[in-house]
Amino acid sequence: MSYPLANRSGRSLNFISNVVAISLLVLSTSSFGFSLDDVAEKAQALVKQDYVKPQSNLPVEFSQMQFADYMKIQPIAEKFHWNDQQTPFRLAFYHQGMHFKVPVKINEILPNGMTEITYDPEDFAFGDLSFDKATTSNLGYAGFRVLYPINKADKYDEIMSVLGASYFRVIGKDQVYGLSGRGMNIDTAVSDDIAEEFPEFREFWIQHPQPGEENLVIYALLDSPSATGAYRFDLQPGANTVLDVEAKVYLRKQVNELGLATLTSMFLYDGRQPPSQHNFRPQIHDSNGLSIHAGNGEWIWRPLNNPDGVSVSTWQVESPKGFGLLQRGREFSRFQDLDDLYHLRPSAWVETKSDWGKGRIKLIEYRTADETNDNVGAFWIPDNLPAFGEPLDLAYRIHWTLDEPSLADPNIAWVAQTLRSAGEDKQANLIRDLDETILLQVDFQGPVLTERGEYQMPATQISISEHAEILSSHLRYNQATKGWRLIMRTRIHDPTKVVEMRAALVDENQQPLSETWSYQIPVGYAVTR
């Protein structure tokens, strides 16, 4: 089984799914009258019809294009949309090509009506590509980019990219592209005989910002064989850019799992799981953990893995307060990469803005051999799905940030890092012998532990799967972080089974002092890895 999430080039996404388009009537209405309900009407009408797969309009020169050649097609800066307008935003577009075989329709909402932003090949530079220019006359846009002076007042930097299926990426000040969001995913890693479905944004409506407005509103229509959807995105750039999302989802037919508020990322290796060959970069990942704030107040931290095969984890929660894929510990020394700048790739935190009810947060991890492909996905699966043709409403805010401590509860310590090595016994002569165990060390830190100090040792709550055991555990004060390190020696009795572990710090009354460390040792992990 494979999980075709996204290519991680850092400059463009290489998604397996095609971008598709549908021809819809251009509305003639005031921008003040256009809303999510207008898109929802289209989604509801569409869901009552049989799904029609759009056909490619690409000539062979473009449809067989390789990634390197596709990257030669770039929008011309002098022709960015809104260049001559009194707004800090600019729009640029992605050209069709490669596996982006079907155009998406992009409209602009104006004060007195609406118009389609028509494709013009003269807005693009094609580098040294050789093709018959007449073949571009009937092509279109594959997606779009939003630019904004996020870092310098006189320089327009890209802060949002929308390209392929229902994918989008967002960054804030001093950030570079890393993980992605998705509008929806269907039947992801359900079973070997059920293929994942990739819903696609078919049409967009972008509201022209008025003078003085520092946010950009985008509407989107989504379609797939099993569902349709109406989306409203409110992009608010800043040091921590936020994207407010409202969605109305309609089912066309029964699905096994409906994934919403989806995040996808890449985790290749870190110190817990080093590369098979020496690399000057100590760590390579866009995210290194999943954080969950459950409806009952519990905070959970799950370090990411790059497993040998496929790993699926779920957490049953009711009315979650948030979840996200985070990059904890972003000092440059952890990465040492001057080109890909992993220390500047943002975390994405999904903050719920409505009551999501009962459901599951699902984490999927796939094996990847390099950093060019996403191999991690996290999303919400509601327990209760709407009847066919009825809406499922969802509202949330995605924070794209480099400031992970701002996402934490100051009254709860967080997991700063997880260290893993082969277990060992120290002999009387100080020689250390490997003993076929796994040594795990978890650093907890935060204001609540700093205030308690060195002489108020917390208690611990630890659990492990029945086919493994914890041989010993103890806490040590970490003078460097003013927190506590939990040290555990474990033994796996059945390496053909996944091992699940949980640990947390509690006070004298058994009340939580830390988030819950939720850890998985995948099948087949040797003790020396």
Q: Are residues 391 and 436 in the same domain?
A: no
In tens, the pLDDT along 68-114 reads: 999 999 999 999 999 999 999 999 999 999 999 999 999 999 998 99
* CA 366 to each of CA 158, 266, 305, 311: distance values in angstroms, whole numbers, following the listed order: 29, 10, 9, 6
- Separation CA 258–CA 190 (nearest Å): 11
Q: From 357, 391, 407, give the residue that closes a domain.
A: 407
Using pLDDT thresholds of 50, 70 and 90, give the confidence band for residue 523.
Answer: confident
26 pLDDT more than 60 = no
18 — pLDDT class (breaks 50, 70, 90)? very low
51 DSSP assignment = P
> Which CATH number is 402's domain given?
2.70.98.10
What distance in Å separates the CA atoms of residue 292 and residue 137, rounded to the nearest whole number? 48
**How many Cβ atoms are within 10 Å of 503's Cβ, its own excluded?**
22
What pLDDT, on a 0 to 100 scale, did the predictor assign at position 188? 96
Task: Answer yes or no: do 352 and 491 share one domain.
Answer: no
Longest CA–CA separation in the chain, Å: 85
| Amino acid 422: pLDDT | 87
How far is CA 235 from each of CA 13, 114, 213, rounded to the nearest angstrom? 20, 20, 11
pLDDT digits (tens, 9 = 90+) for 298-314: 999 999 999 998 999 99
Q: Which domain does 128 fall in, by range?
A: 36-407
Residue at which a domain ends, from 382, 407, 432: 407
Residue 516 lies in a domain: yes
Q: Which residues contact 317 (CB under 8 A, 6 or more apart)?
A: 292, 294, 295, 296, 358, 359, 360, 361
Task: Give the total number of structural domains in the chain.
Answer: 2
Residue 99 lies in a domain: yes
pLDDT in tens, 198-228: 999 999 999 999 888 999 999 999 999 999 9
In this structure, are 238 and 273 located in the same domain? yes
Claim to verify: residue 459 and residue 343 sit in the same structural domain? no
Domain stops at, among 407, 422, 442: 407
pLDDT tens profile 454-505? 999 999 999 999 999 999 999 999 999 999 999 999 999 998 899 999 999 9
Q: Do residues 455 and 367 both lie within one domain?
A: no
Asked whether residue 457 is domain-assigned, the answer is yes
Whether 213 and 234 map to the same domain: the answer is: yes
Does residue 434 share a domain with residue 383? no
Based on the fold, state whether residues 369 and 423 are members of the same structural domain.
no
**Under 8 Å between Cβ of 441 and 475:** no
For residue 5, being part of any structural domain is answered with no
Q: Does any domain span residue 8?
A: no
Query: Which residue, 480, 478, 403, 482, is CA-closest to 448?
Result: 482
Q: Which amino acid is at 250?
A: Y
Beta strand ranges found along 96-153 (DSSP E): 105-110, 113-116, 124-125, 141-152
pLDDT of residue 145: 98
Task: For residue range 164-195, list pLDDT tens digits in order.
Answer: 999 999 999 999 999 999 999 999 999 999 99
Locate the DSSP E strands across 239-369.
Answer: 241-251, 258-265, 267-269, 284-285, 289-293, 299-303, 310-318, 322-326, 347-352, 358-366
Phi, psi (deg, nearest 5) at residue 78: -65, -15
Model pLDDT, residue 212: 87
- For residues 101 and 63, is the Cβ–Cβ distance under 8 A? yes
| 419, pLDDT greater than 50 | yes
CA distance 110 to 128: 37
pLDDT of 175 reads 98
Considering the domain architecture, whether residues 328 and 477 belong to the same structural domain is answered as no
Confidence of residue 6 (pLDDT cuts 50, 70, 90): very low
What sign does the dihedral 312-315-321-326 (CA atoms) show?
A: negative
The mean pLDDT of 283-306, rounded to a whole number, is 97
- For the domain that residue 486 is a member of, what is the CATH number? 2.60.40.10
Q: Is 355 inside a domain boundary?
A: yes
N-term to C-term CA, the chain? 24
* 195, two tokens: 């293929």
CB 114, CB 28: distance < 8 Å: yes
Residue at 280 is within a domain: yes
Tell me, yes or no, whether 114 and 226 share the same domain.
yes
**397: Cβ contacts below 8 Å, ≥ 6 apart:** 242, 243, 244, 245, 350, 351, 353
pLDDT of residue 426: 66
pLDDT of amino acid 423? 80
**Do 154 and 273 belong together in one domain?**
yes
Looking at the fold, whether 62 and 144 belong to one and the same domain comes out as yes
SS3 category, 254: coil
Detail the DSSP E strand segments found in 479-515: 483-492, 499-506
What does the pLDDT average to over 305-331?
96
Cβ within 8 Å of residue 509, ≥6 positions away: none
In this prediction, residue 14 has a pLDDT band, given cuts at 50, 70 and 90, of very low
Q: What is the DSSP letter of 457?
A: P
Q: What is the dihedral of CA 313, 316, 320, 326, to 10 degrees?
A: -10
Arithmetic mean of pLDDT over the chain: 91
pLDDT over 80 (residue 256): yes
Does residue 29 lie in a domain region? Answer: no
For tokens 């401590």, name the residue: 405
Cα Rg for the chain, rounded, in angstroms? Answer: 24
